Chains A and B, each alone.
Chain A
Amino acid sequence: MSTEERIKKQISDNSILLFMKGSPDKPQCGFSQRATQILMACGKEFSFVDILSNQDIRETLPSISNWPTFPQLFINGELIGGSDIMMDMYQSGEMQKVIDEATEESSD
Chain B
Amino acid sequence: MIKDEIENKLNDDLNPWFLEVVNESPNHNVPDGAESHFKIIIVSEKFIDFRAVKRHQLIYSILNEEMKKIHAVAIHPFTPEEWKEKTGENLDSPKCLGGGND
Verify that A and B bind, or say they do not.
yes
Interface residues of A (CB under 8 A from B): 31, 66-69, 79-82, 84-85, 88-89
Interface pair A81/B53, CB less than 8 Å apart: yes
Interface residues of B (CB under 8 A from A): 52-53, 56-57, 60-61, 67, 72-76
> 24 A-B residue contacts at CB 8 Å?
A31-B72, A66-B57, A66-B60, A66-B61, A67-B53, A67-B57, A67-B60, A68-B67, A69-B67, A69-B72, A69-B73, A79-B53, A80-B53, A81-B53, A81-B56, A82-B56, A84-B56, A84-B74, A84-B75, A84-B76, A85-B52, A85-B53, A85-B56, A88-B52
Contacts A66-B57, A84-B74, A85-B53 known; 17 new A-B pairs at CB < 8 A: A31-B72, A66-B61, A67-B53, A67-B56, A67-B57, A67-B60, A68-B60, A68-B67, A69-B67, A79-B53, A80-B53, A81-B53, A81-B56, A82-B56, A84-B76, A88-B52, A89-B52
The number of inter-chain residue pairs (CB within 8 angstroms) is: 28
Please report whether the interface of chain B is mostly helix, strand, loop or mixed according to DSSP: helix
List A contacts of B57 (CB < 8 A).
66-67
- Given the complex of chains A and B, what is the CA–CA distance between A85 and B57 in angstroms? 12
